[in-house]
Structure 1
């Protein structure tokens, strides 16, 4: 520890004087044996320390230069590509999981209805000749699919096959204006027809139910299933079609009209099933999912 005393002050004054003298001598042109000796001694003392500091800081300096240099740009590009690949893999895994869930629901519906189905994927929406609302599926005659077969998914009725090739088929959706499906009310057994789009004089709708009995009791919340065609072509019985949302009687009409909320989300079709063999018996209402109040009671 350096203490303030008369001796220390004298020592400090001597050191200052020596330093000034060395600076003056070193500033003169030409070599000076005194300052040269002092400088050499300083190099001997401080050179090892300077070398140690340089050695210690070299990795940090190199790292900084790499971060700023071209190698870092390449590394960033590699990381961005790796992240993009990972996102694609996660997206594919999510899609596969969703499709597996849809397939599970489809098989559940087929089991309840006693339908033999061929699973397929709705590849794209198309506009077939004479039709406004159709999709192409990735299965065809090679898989036993032919025109006038019912198409369903895990929620209910999608439509019917209108054309089929070896590896693809065209499906007219139930929402197409040319679509007409024989239908039956869930509880009352009253029958009618579900048409695609809005019926003349009826409410604006994707699906419109026309009941043949003007006195038939029908109210919002009632559910509709397919009535079934002769020998199951083009429609097998018991497939959920939708739920009544609004009822009205057109002036002068001989039937009642109702707006139907489709059981199927037609905007996000993916996994579907073509019914290649209908049930031995009409499943009636067994394919319909439990109502929320029924699930609460169970």
Structure 2
């Protein structure tokens, strides 16, 4: 109900905006790109260079699953040349924007750039709808965190570069070169992850948190256990789930319990305390903090940080 009211208010706001109220075109002639999440923002920055103005719609530190767009967000999307979004459950709020804004430019969904995997429920993982365990009325849901596999991130980068080149033919060569250069950096990162995992006799990871890393796990053959799937709206697992994960850590002598960025990591801490394990963060890159943004974080630097964390915390 709340979202319907917000949508109505936004539609009224936009319908009342004459041409004098609309955002002015970029007088510099640069391509205007709006991205909902940090990976798309970072890939577009790398492709666009000096020829594009790229805006991150999701505020630093914000939770994308529960985010509600502002009137300023609506106007930004309406006036941009290219709008890049996930297209999955975690940014369902984008439907509100697209319904109200009617963008003048083009849109690109990241999930259309790669092969998708279904969201997975592994042993011990908390399920939000127990009645769906038997498959009654289930709807196939895909995991939209496609960028967590570097190979996918490179593919999305190239797709963004190609779209930007299409929209701004005068600078097409620069967009293509920028995309290829950044995709090359990401591919080298992929090789580094592959080389690391090849050294491990056991690739088991336990997350006392959501697990938005299905593509990463698939890419490097990681065996994982977690409290919830990546798009779960739940944050407090049942006693049974915590007990299962605790027993798994003990039985397999797992040294580290993982959590993701912006988590309070209370579940991971609880499991670690009960088992004598340590905890560590794996950054899904879905969003960044204001400090990370100010310090120039990129997808590559964040994933390099993950690689270093894996080297320090996996046997």
TM > 0.5: no
TM-score bucket (shorter structure): under 0.3
In terms of Rg, which structure is larger?
A: 1
TM-score for the superposition, normalised by structure 1: 0.23
Decide which structure has greater strand share: 1
